[in-house]
Structure 1
């Protein structure tokens, strides 16, 4: 069992199961208060080289550890994390800003996912067999994997990279976002007492750390979650050494609401899935297309429910919308809100920037049927603002929903499941839901179409992307 952690001390990077301090440190900001948080390491090229060297050394033995033992250690890690989750949940609220109940949900999911990954063994597959030969597809671990983690779900999206890498026999280095380094460093600290040295390491740093990792010749795969713009830079950087990579990038998810829905039943879910985590989730509902026959009634019901949503510090009771996570994103969201007056968008619900607060608070806004080419429709705001749009023709709404470069998620809402599935199959997105949105599971592949990503995470498809595929031809007759 891991020793009890101190959630306020960060003595160094986690390299080869040791704390390795750095000459320089940095800190992030509590987005609810604007106050500085704790000092954390600022990695140098020497730190990166040391971590990669230890990861490559550890890979030689870790890749040969039987699946059952890797599974046992991953389950032990999940248990250790569960035993220490309470202070980490509070730390997550401090660094990310999300409400405490949502932080608890993130830890629930993370621990459950680790336990599920521990059961998922990538096995050989017989592709063809006859009297003369057998053709087998085998899957061997790639080597040293690196997970680059975003600031919106730093625990879940960190461990969702750790679990698949380790269970398939790879070693892994995690790079947290500079905005949310704290929980990920503690995840690595807990792992020190579970995994062999060099198997699971964490490096904290600034904006220069990412390129050090993506360009490193001895890292074999990058798994990146973040914006499409940054994803292009990551892909460009990885190309220098022909690294394998998985990209999970931004989305602009449409929800198509048909005229036969039970408005009172679905409005709470759709509204919550537009404003959860202050809209800072790539696969939340970003555009709501409502059939014109029910548009006014649906809009009014959504506004009424949204007015009951509380905005505030994540430690306050009943808060649903916390702060925008960082000043850079805060300015982007404020810029989107400034478009309301410039473009004369009609507000069904007026959002407010909390100007008297030191935190980055903005309350939800609902835009009433703006033009289809508006920024609020075309761009992903990544904040608590959502447009409602009318539709009447199925072919037209499908074309509008599919328009643009994003293709992460989409949903259709209707009592007629056959109709809903017919529409859903026309949507270009990596995940499509019927009468729901933002459902994810460790055994279900997740990825995007178009500029929303390359490859898949989670599921057997995601685990196989942590492996090299070999076609093994076995001829039975001796020449």
Structure 2
């Protein structure tokens, strides 16, 4: 369809943006009943067939892969068609064709699609997407609510707000007879988005953020989150997203990625996943640099080895409860999950007693039972790797497992929340990231001498190559100030008397540096800047009558 002529008859302002209110799913509530009904309905429909989506066409290659329920791995939740070489080629060409009209669409029309998608998710699709996230990715009701509903809605709404603010930024000075202005072009080519399993909201934001700025995107969802990512595309299509703007291409990661990175029109990588994979992609892009039309923008959020530091002045009850949440919500499968804790020896006995008391209250089991705080890990490979770390800790002379250490995959991939105390500050479980971009349910504690607080801050800073999230618990303001300064580069998101997880769009822009990624801060305008290429326009109104300058006069 040809581009319609557009009359620019006003400077539009998007509605006031606020964070999406979160539902509680408390007993006997209407939302709990609706979510339970959605879970039953989804179970009844399984296995759901998911096609590839290219140029608005649903493609079925016949190369079938499966997404299973991690708490009941005998059950196939979805069967999806895997993209092949011809499909990816078609997706790239179709996206570039769609880009012509999409980037020319006025901003208010592009923003309208994502604002409408947010409202559709808030009401019509909320329980359907939550059910897919719970069953397919092993989240309980609250974890699904804060992710697949609230955070994704916030991404869509706040991104529109930030984009509008970007477009309004114009040169403040104009010389006499001159009008200066700046336009914020999309990148020349297409964006490749690679999504993780652990956040449906990330799977939605990775393609949506660049698309809002006029880009076209190829989205490769995680094999463990295909269903929820497909529903996100369903919402966007109903909201009016034109065909070809976001191409949905599940399938074998290495084959798809190799083909995409060899395209001269590859313009940007938008990635969330493991550090190892991200570094390999960076090298592959560098090796292909001569074939690209422009220097690709590489945007990535990867792993972490996130810390809690407990000063002797800390409120111990708060520090313990925050640590339980930070380490064991969603079975620790968050890039921001608390993985290592440093506790002052003067408060260790109280911290340990309180921690074990609270740990014993954690209810473990399938997500459909709303009493369960803690569910399965995502798949067998994850289960096996965590098991090896636990067995290593059992044999390590410097490590003591004081809670958990139990695992069972007979029905689902369940690893009990495990707490290790180590006397070695460089222990394997305190220094190494355990699995990919997530830490999983293993928390390691090191007890330090209270008088060595400053030295311990230096230890925290240098122990890990990662710098994603971290938290300091203290009431002593001088201790807080010292930690604030010493740990400046140890995390991109720093929390005081608050757990290392739970960043909210519009409140705490999220991302880390060092091996944790490019720190482009999802949930802020900074991320959107990565997907635009500015063009400066200077228009002269007064004709000159001589090429020479006054300094040239005799």
Give the alignment's TM-score, normalised by structure 2: 0.80
SS at match of 1:247: strand
Name the CA shift for 1:395/1:177 in 2 (closer, same or farther; >3 Å).
same
Contact 1:349-1:365 at 8 Å conserved across structures: yes
Q: Deviations over 1:156-212 (max 9, x none)?
A: 111122332122121222211122211112222332232111112211112322333
Deviations 1:238-259 (A, max 9, x none): 2214421101111001111111
When Rg is computed on C-alpha atoms for both structures, the one with the higher figure is 2
CA–CA distance in structure 2, aligned partners of residues 185 and 71 of structure 1: 21
Report how far residue 123 of structure 1 moved.
2.1
Equivalent position SS for 1:293:
helix
Point out where structure 1 has 5 or more consecutive residues left out of the alignment: none
Aligned to 1:451: 515
Counterpart of 1:367 in 2: which secondary structure? Answer: strand
Which of 296, 306, 314 lines up with 1:243 in the alignment? Answer: 296
Structure 1 distance, partners of 2:325, 2:234, is 34
The reply to whether residue 27 of structure 1 matches residue 104 of structure 2 is no
State how 1:6-155 maps to structure 2 within 5 Å.
9-35=48-74, 36-82=76-122, 83-106=124-147, 107-120=149-162, 121=164, 122-123=166-167, 125-126=169-170, 129=173, 131=175, 138-142=183-187, 143-153=189-199, 155=200
Q: 2: CA distance between counterparts of 1:472 and 1:58? A: 26
SS of 1:123's partner is: helix
* C-alpha distance after superposition, 1:74-110 (max 9, x if no partner): 1111222331221222222222112233212212221
Q: TM-score, normalised by structure 1?
A: 0.92
Instruction: Give secondary structure in 1 for the equivalent of 2:73.
Output: coil
Whether the 8 Å CA contact 1:299–1:388 is kept in 2: the answer is no
Query: Are residue 399 (structure 1) and residue 497 (structure 2) matched?
Result: no
Q: State the 1:371 CA deviation.
A: 0.7
- 1:299–1:348 Cα contact (<8 Å) kept: no
Aligned to 1:192: 237
Per the alignment, do residues 128 and 260 of structure 1 end up closer, same or farther by CA in structure 2, a change over 3 Å counting?
same
Partner SS state of residue 224, structure 1: strand
Q: 1:289 is matched with which residue?
A: 342
Aligned residue in 1 for 2:389: 336
CA drift at 1:11: 4.5
Residue 246 of structure 1 aligns to a residue in which SS?
strand
Higher alpha-carbon deviation: 243-252 or 96-105: 96-105
Alignment match of 1:414 (pick from 456, 468, 474) = 474
Question: Are residues 369 and 17 of structure 1, via their aligned partners in 2, closer, same or farther at CA, if it must alter by over 3 Å?
Answer: same
* In structure 2, C-alpha distance between the alignment counterparts of 1:409 and 1:136, rounded to whole Å: 39
Check if 1:346 corresponds to 2:400. yes
Partner deviation per Cα, 1:204-245 (whole Å, 9 max, x = no partner): 112322333333332311111111101111112222144211
* Counterpart for residue 358 of structure 2: 305
Segment drifting more, 186-195 vs 311-320 = 186-195
Please give the root-mean-square deviation of Cα atoms over the aligned residues, in Å: 2.4
Preserved contact between residue 191 and residue 200 of structure 1 (Cα < 8 Å): no
Q: Which residue of 2 aligns with 1:179?
A: 224
SS in 2 for 1:114: helix
1:212 is paired with a residue whose SS is helix
- Separation (CA, whole Å) in 2 of partners of 1:93 and 1:370: 38
Correspondence for 2:249 among 170, 187, 203: 203
The question of whether the paired residues in 2 share the 8 Å contact of 1:27 and 1:40 is answered with yes
Contact 2:69 2:77 in 1 (8 A): yes
| CA shift digits 1:266-306 (9 cap, x unpaired) | 32122111111111111111111112211221122112111
Instruction: Tell me which of 429, 438, 450 is aligned to 1:376.
Output: 429
Q: Deviations over 1:399-443 (max 9, x none)?
A: 211122111111111223464244123322211111222242334
The corresponding residue for 1:431 is: 493
The answer to whether residue 225 in structure 2 is matched with residue 161 in structure 1 is no
Q: Is the 8 A contact 1:148 1:174 kept in 2?
A: yes
Check the 8 A contact 1:185/1:204 in 2, yes or no.
no
Contact 1:30 1:97 (C-alpha < 8 Å) held by counterparts:
yes
Check if 1:386 corresponds to 2:469: no
> Take 2:150 and 2:225, find their aligned partners in 1: how far apart are those partners?
19
Specify the SS of the correspondent of 2:346. Answer: coil
State the 1:477 CA deviation. 6.6
Q: CA separation of 1:474/1:317 partners in 2, compared to 1, >3 Å: closer, same or farther?
A: same
Q: Per-residue CA shift, 1:298-335, capped at 9, x if unaligned?
A: 12211211111112111122212211101111111111
Unaligned runs of 5+ in 2: 1-40, 545-554
Aligned: 1:230 with 2:274: no
**Where does structure 1 differ by over 6 angstroms across 4 or more consecutive aligned residues?**
4-7, 132-135, 474-477
Q: 1:316 is paired with a residue of what secondary structure?
A: coil
Report the CA distance shift for 1:378/1:131 in structure 2 as closer, same or farther (over 3 A). Answer: same
